[in-house]
Chains A and B, each alone.
Chain A
């Protein structure tokens, strides 16, 4: 059983398009996250949701909009894709909402914008 799953694994698209990445966790955790990992492997948090409520919203362009229909799912929608959006996007989850909890990561979605 996959604990944190993401779809799709790879996403190749043209500039200006809109795309979504889906994430699901079956660990019963209350908190979910989206991270962006750039080409130099630097990992930066984008959003965090606790029980469907937004608790972290870093300085991310408005083109990125997370949606949490329930606490097991956190999807990421990206409008008007730009070249700089190319990266690997990781979803993660943790039991609590504090940063001291262990996070469990999905396998990542590699987004390539042409």
Chain B
């Protein structure tokens, strides 16, 4: 069965600093991996998605994530944080042919001025 673990329920960075949100997954077959973002009082929206086409995936708003099979990781990064990046970020995994997407517990990103 697949699962996903997000390390750190809260991450705080200064504006302009590197953002690194960690995600590790477990899957018995090649996975599809997602990062979703949830702004306050809103639904989730897709940031980026790994579908095995390329290990480095670029998403919206300057975010990117790298799939590392050897480390079973899919960490999310952004070179320079902006105040508007403050939100809850969810890593998710699903298996090829499966029906379900399993979400991690979420990481709350705080951006300090």
For window 78-113 of B, CB contacts with A under 8 Å fall at 88, 90, 94-101, 103, 105-106, 108
Given contacts A105-B36, A108-B42, 5 further A-B pairs with CB under 8 A are A40-B105, A41-B106, A99-B100, A100-B32, A108-B41
For window 33-90 of A, CB contacts with B under 8 Å fall at 40-45, 48, 55-56, 90
> How many A residues are at the interface, by size bracket?
20 to 34
For window 1-60 of B, CB contacts with A under 8 Å fall at 32, 34, 36, 38, 41-46, 49, 51
- By a CB distance below 8 angstroms, the chain B residues around A4 are 43
- By a CB distance below 8 angstroms, the chain A residues around B36 are 105
Secondary structure of the B side of the interface?
strand
Known A-B contacts A41-B106, A100-B32; A56 and B42 likewise in contact (beta carbons under 8 Å): no
Task: Look across to chain B and name the residue whose beta carbon is closest to the beta carbon of A56.
Answer: B99
Known A-B contacts A45-B100, A105-B45; A98 and B94 likewise in contact (beta carbons under 8 Å): yes
* Closest 4 pairs between A and B when the two form their complex, measured CB to CB: A99-B94, A105-B43, A100-B32, A43-B103
A 90-108 binary contact with B (CB < 8 Å = 1; else 0): 1010000111101111111
Among A55, A90, A102, which residue has its beta carbon within 8 angstroms of that of B43? A90
Task: Look across to chain A and name the residue whose beta carbon is closest to the beta carbon of B105.
Answer: A42
